[in-house]
Amino acid sequence: MSSSDFIDTIVQPAVVPGAGPAAGPATLQAEEVSAWFGDHKVLDRVSLTMPARRVTALIGPSGCGKSTFLRILNRMHELIGSASLSGRVLLDGDDIYDRGRRITHARREIGMVFQKPNPFPAMSIYDNVVAGLRLNGVKATRENKDDLVEECLTKGGLWKEVRDRLRQPGGALSGGQQQRLCIARSLAVRPRVLLMDEPCSALDPTSTRRIEETIAELKAEVTIVIVTHNMQQAVRVSDKCAFFLAAQGTPGVIVEHGDTDAMFDSPQDERTSDYVNGRFG
């Protein structure tokens, strides 16, 4: 991904404190979504509702289309030249792929946190959080920016650790702190949905626990969809769960979805039972 694409994806015009209430968490709904890379079909008619103020976990073996599906949810799939798709993605009933809807608007409302922490390394912690204001020419007073930084770093579970060194480079933080900084940066633009692509896969257990605590604290304010290969993490953090599978070279499909407790305690499909109990994958 180019640097300009990265900035378009992560940094969008922010709502400055005091400028009015945010729209709030939204329900995200995929309807009959299929996806291709060239002639290779990777998803087949996937439908899933990801309710507001809930955490939905996407689970399944590698190569079953989970990350592709996640990127379709904020129009990142189309950054790849050979990529195409069919179906609809609805944000509170509005199709984010509608011809009249700007891609930047979709990405402002549906943020993304990637597998590998990616703060702007040369920027300070403070400037990482307010990057959206500066890069998009949104004017804000110093007081408003200060409030935004404290608010977002607090929500990201990082404020107490960095409040005395906000002018130090974001790239100097530990891996877990960098990931929480990326969460704070995404929150600064007031997304209604936050997508997370294996956000803890490169982190130590202590950092993973802190990220999971942050997810639990955030779900009242933003709808969260997370890809994870860690079944224990899916149980700990999610309310809803969807099991993806691509068998013998076929496109990825959702085998089963529902409440997380039911998916793990009494799955309806034998393949789901085998996967959540570690018999394959």
Q: What is the pLDDT of residues 230-262, one digit of tens each?
A: 999 999 999 999 999 998 889 999 999 999 999
What is the per-residue pLDDT for 40? 93
Q: Which of 8-12, 25-29, 47-51, 202-206 has the lowest mean pLDDT?
A: 8-12
| pLDDT of 4 above 50 | no
What is the per-residue pLDDT for 138? 64
Give all domains of the chain, ordered by start, each with its CATH number. Answer: 3-276 (3.40.50.300)
| pLDDT of 2 above 70 | no
* Residue 6 confidence class, pLDDT cut points 50, 70, 90: very low
| pLDDT of 279 above 90 | no
Looking at per-residue pLDDT, the higher value among 2 and 141 belongs to 141
What is the per-residue pLDDT for 27? 96
| pLDDT of 281 above 90 | no
What is the per-residue pLDDT for 12? 37
- What's the token pair of residue 98? 């509608």
Phi, psi of 237 (to 5 degrees): -105, -20
| pLDDT of 14 above 80 | no
Pairing of β 193-197 and β 110-113: parallel
What is the per-residue pLDDT for 104? 78
Q: Tens of pLDDT along 163-195?
A: 999 999 999 999 999 999 999 998 988 899 999
Task: Calculate mean pLDDT across residues 121-142.
Answer: 81
Q: What angle do CA 21, 123, 8 make, to 5 degrees?
A: 55
* Residue 140 confidence class, pLDDT cut points 50, 70, 90: confident
pTM: 0.88
| pLDDT of 9 above 90 | no
| pLDDT of 3 above 70 | no
What is the per-residue pLDDT for 101? 83
| pLDDT of 15 above 80 | no
Instruction: Kindly report the average pLDDT of the chain as a whole number.
Output: 88
- pLDDT over 70 for what percent of the chain? 89
Q: Tens of pLDDT along 75-95?
A: 989 888 899 999 999 999 999
What is the per-residue pLDDT for 103? 82
Q: Tens of pLDDT along 223-232?
A: 999 999 999 9
| pLDDT of 135 above 80 | no
* Residue 29 confidence class, pLDDT cut points 50, 70, 90: very high
